[in-house]
């Protein structure tokens, strides 16, 4: 197939379908053959620049944490009551370290 490149040669734009002079046509980054008035450059977000990690970050960091309160078992018969009718109840719990 012969390509015509003379001063009267025309080409069809892939974007609009209109005929334009062949010497005013350009090829875009995606391969489309378009007129210079229809040309769109490649958007910068299609090829983002690599972003390095934070210089102060630690690999596999494990922050300090506080343990949750847990229930403790009471010894056998830990409750002591006083005279009947009294609302005071003592609870004996050994301190465990």
CB 75, CB 96: distance < 8 Å? no
Number of structural domains (the chain) is 1
Looking at per-residue confidence, does 55 or 39 come out higher?
39
Residue 89 has pLDDT above 80, yes or no: yes
**Domain presence at residue 46:** no
**pTM of this prediction?**
0.46
pLDDT value at residue 1: 46
* 61 Cβ contact list (under 8 Å, min separation 6): none
Q: Which domain holds residue 33?
A: 10-40
**Domain presence at residue 25:** yes
CB 11, CB 33: distance < 8 Å? yes
**Domain presence at residue 31:** yes
CA dihedral 48, 50, 53, 55 (to 10 degrees): -120
Average pLDDT over residues 26-42: 94
Structure tokens at 41: 């450059």
**Domain presence at residue 27:** yes
**Domain presence at residue 14:** yes
């Amino acid at each position: 197939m012969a390509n015509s490149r003379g001063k009267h040669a025309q080409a069809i734009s892939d974007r609009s379908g209109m005929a334009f002079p062949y010497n005013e046509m350009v090829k875009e980054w995606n391969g489309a053959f378009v007129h210079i008035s229809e040309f769109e450059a490649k958007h910068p977000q299609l090829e983002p620049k690599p972003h390095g990690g934070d210089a102060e970050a630690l690999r596999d960091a494990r922050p300090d944490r506080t343990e949750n309160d847990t229930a403790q078992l009471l010894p056998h018969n830990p409750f002591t009551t006083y005279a009947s009718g009294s609302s005071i109840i003592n609870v004996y719990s050994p301190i465990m370290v």
